[in-house]
Amino acid sequence: MDTVATTDFHHIYEPGFDAARPPLLLLHGTGGDERDLLGLGQTVAPGASLLSPRGQVLEGAMPRFFRRLAEGVFDEDDLRRRTHDLADFVEQARERYGIAAPVAIGFSNGANIAASLLLLRPEVLAGAALLRAMSPFAEPPQVLKKPPQADLVGKRVLMLSGAIDPIIPEENAKRLARTLSAAGASVDHRVLPAGHGLSQADIGLLKGWLLDA
């Protein structure tokens, strides 16, 4: 397992030993780094290859994948640019490491940019598990015509929200689920009796969902 510095993303690539499992793209939350979700990936998908980049934006000393203007208010121009940067990195990593299109597992800020990847660069991901995600755009890209509506037919998406999450309003998460469904994704949205942090229920549901991937 190596930590790699490139011109784009510091990242870890951990090769897998189970060819039947799709590789995972691990996207940390605010203040995390490329090591944060490795243990989760190993737990929920033993044997899968793991690709885990560090967000390039710093909020104080905390890495993120894109800028925000306030809690729950995103810099959407920066989000779009960072989404394309991340998508380009994933495509380069696939070629470098010889892996298939990954399933993203994103938590919080990482889940939000994973949702943006689905909407702006759907070809990059085989599917996604969005843990504590909110709608990345005030209006979905298909409404803004930037770009045309994403085609997510055949892509599976798991959304796990917290019923007592103080950061993400329930309706916001539901709106994201509707947006992804309208683009053709097969969305399984579960609301758990939890806050913003992950619980054992999240891990169990994620592990079962990945078994069917």
Per the annotation, the verdict on 165 as an active-site residue is yes
How far are the Cα atoms of 52, 93, 97, 167, 193 from residue 80, in angstroms, in the given order?
Answer: 20, 20, 26, 22, 32
Residue 57's nearest CA partner among 5, 10, 114 is: 10
Q: Are strands 127-131 and 103-107 parallel, antiparallel or unpaired?
A: parallel
Which position among 33, 75, 196, 199 bears the catalytic label? 196
Which position among 36, 165, 189, 202 bears the catalytic label? 165
> Across the strands, what pairs with 168?
none
Q: 3-state DSSP call for residue 58?
A: strand
Residue 176's nearest CA partner among 90, 74, 88, 50 is: 74
Per the annotation, the verdict on 108 as an active-site residue is yes
Which position among 108, 116, 135, 161 bears the catalytic label? 108
How far are the Cα atoms of 13, 16, 112 from residue 98, in angstroms, in the given order?
Answer: 11, 12, 26
Give the separation between CA 133 and CA 163, rounded to whole angstroms: 13
Residues tagged active-site = 108, 165, 196
